[in-house]
Amino acid sequence: MSDHQVINPYLPNWEYVPDGEPYVFGDRVYVYGSHDFFGGDVYCMGDYVCWSAPADDLGNWKYEGAIYRKDQDPHNTDLQGNLYAPDVAVGPDGRYYLYYVLSNWGVVSVAVSDRPAGPYEFYGYVHYPDGTRLGEKEGDEPQFDPGVLTEGDRTYLYTGFCGYGDKSRHGAMCTVLDRDMLTVREAPCFVAPGVMYSQGTGFEGHEFFEAPSIRKRGDLYYFIYSSIQFHELCYAVSREPTRGFVYQGVIISSCDKGIASYKPADKPMYYTANNHGSMEKIGEEWYIFYHRHTNGTNYSRQGCLEKLCFREDGTIIQAEMTSCGSVRPLKGKGRYPAYIACHLFTDTEVTYVPWSGWMDDRFPKITQEIEEGGHGIGYIANMRESATAGFRYFDCRNVERISIRTKGYATGRMEIRTAWDGEALGSVPIGYANVWHDTEAEIRIPDGIQSLYFTFRGQGHLQFAGFELK
């Protein structure tokens, strides 16, 4: 593994690629996802872009550029459809096939390229042998969020969306496609139930909502999806790709609900909403890619990753959210930006992004300054009394001083802890500042692998850009 540190979010602070589907092609990891904008007012406003990294250096991501534009779909010349979450599979011919659904049409579109990073060209719509598009045949349910897996000359296409109260949507579907990657070979069958049809299935409380994805590990198929709880990625396993899936548990929650190792299991540690992602084996380790919400809305999401641990029976231990991707602790020296906080909360416990169009002004949010080109710094805005930003983990050795960078109309102090409910190790004084300002104090951090929590105590609203461990 390289000396580059892995941080979350793993892409630059100004990039917003949620719904991540990671794949190793050759010696590189490629991530495909939808494309949000900072300050966006709906999901997936951008064209598809691709980022890649060496498989042995997950801290060194390269921008591969825009790989497919939304005006390339013949149905979308008026640009009214946004490019929702995609997936990619390698066909029997060795080419790369990009599957997606437009936001205003329940049909699966496909683009193709000779290279994993594109550019991709429109190829066609998934259809039955008679030419009827999947999703438009009588009795079909609308298609949504395609996930794909190709084995030999068969491609398994998983789709679906199921909300509360909608009895017209039964669950996640699997459709088998022929070797042309377009023609339906086996009609859709249901592999995981929606909330209206889950009684007695074992999926109760974690029913399929959206974001189907599929991976194979050993002889087990892992069906990964976003549950009706929104914030969690769950999984079910089977030895067959089209049936027999049994619910197994949660892979990750984007507010750490379900984690009881350092807090009560039901306590949320971040403002969350929907989730979408998948897992991939990179080198000798497996990782889960997921996303978090920023800027106090549902619509500016950033990709994160965590290392996974499996039990001997193939089940997954729920991963914690971290600032380091669970790859290895961050160095306990040097400067770190505040936007890599994996925890953000106040004394008022809230699970979901508290918004009515915009973030409730009682709560902090990760946001960014806008500079030319849109590449401004990321920071935490609106830290009021009790607002806490948590960072996990650091390998601390001989840390004796901490400097913090802040600005805003605020007076008080920033308390430092190594646990969200622990005793303060010390504090840094806070005063009014019109521009970013560094303030330093003597605070000794115990040696070892530590979390760091920064809590504002005082008046006003503080902007928090980062800190330096000395």
- Residue 89, pLDDT above cutoff 70: yes
CATH of the domain at 440: 2.60.120.260
| Claim to verify: residue 286 and residue 173 sit in the same structural domain | yes
Establish if 10 belongs to a structural domain: no
- Amino acid at position 148, single letter: V
Contact present, 430 and 438 (Cβ < 8 Å): no
User: Domain boundary residue among 261, 290, 317?
Assistant: 317
How far apart CA 416 and CA 430 sit, in angstroms, is 13
Domains held by the chain: number: 2
Establish if 12 belongs to a structural domain: no
Report, as residue numbers or ranges, the catalytic residues. Answer: 19, 210
Q: Across residues 85-94, what is the average pLDDT? A: 98
Give the domain range for residue 303.
21-317
What pLDDT does 193 receive? 98
Lowest-confidence region among 126-130, 360-364, 423-427 = 360-364
Q: What's the residue count for the chain? A: 470
What pLDDT does 361 receive? 80
CATH of the domain at 79: 2.115.10.20
pLDDT tens digits, 163-201:
999 999 999 999 999 999 999 999 999 999 999 999 999
Contact present, 212 and 197 (Cβ < 8 Å): no
User: Domain boundary residue among 289, 317, 345?
Assistant: 317
User: Domain boundary residue among 271, 294, 317?
Assistant: 317
pLDDT tens digits, 191-230:
999 999 999 999 999 999 999 999 999 999 999 999 999 9
pTM of the model: 0.97
Establish if 15 belongs to a structural domain: no
Establish if 215 belongs to a structural domain: yes
* Strands ordered across the beta sheet of 147-151: 147-151, 154-159, 171-177, 184-193
| Claim to verify: residue 300 and residue 338 sit in the same structural domain | no
pLDDT tens digits, 257-282:
999 999 999 999 999 999 999 999 99
Establish if 11 belongs to a structural domain: no
Q: What is the DSSP letter of 190?
A: E
Distance of CA 205 to the CA centre of its chain: 21
Q: Collect all residues with Cβ–Cβ distance below 8 Å to 361 and sequence separation of at least 6.
A: 382
- Residue 358, pLDDT above cutoff 60: no
pLDDT tens digits, 291-328:
999 999 999 999 999 999 999 999 999 999 999 998 89
Share of the chain above pLDDT 90, in %: 95
What pLDDT does 376 receive? 81
Report CA torsion sign: 402, 379, 295, 159. negative
| Claim to verify: residue 378 and residue 450 sit in the same structural domain | yes
| Claim to verify: residue 345 and residue 262 sit in the same structural domain | no
| Claim to verify: residue 144 and residue 27 sit in the same structural domain | yes
| Claim to verify: residue 336 and residue 399 sit in the same structural domain | yes
Would you place residue 347 in the very low, low, confident or very high pLDDT band (cuts 50, 70, 90)? very high
Establish if 385 belongs to a structural domain: yes
Between strands 309-310 and 316-317, the pairing is antiparallel
How far apart CA 296 and CA 40 sit, in angstroms, is 11
Q: Across residues 346-371, what is the average pLDDT? A: 82
Establish if 462 belongs to a structural domain: yes
What pLDDT does 373 receive? 63
Would you place residue 2 in the very low, low, confident or very high pLDDT band (cuts 50, 70, 90)? low
| Claim to verify: residue 337 and residue 310 sit in the same structural domain | no
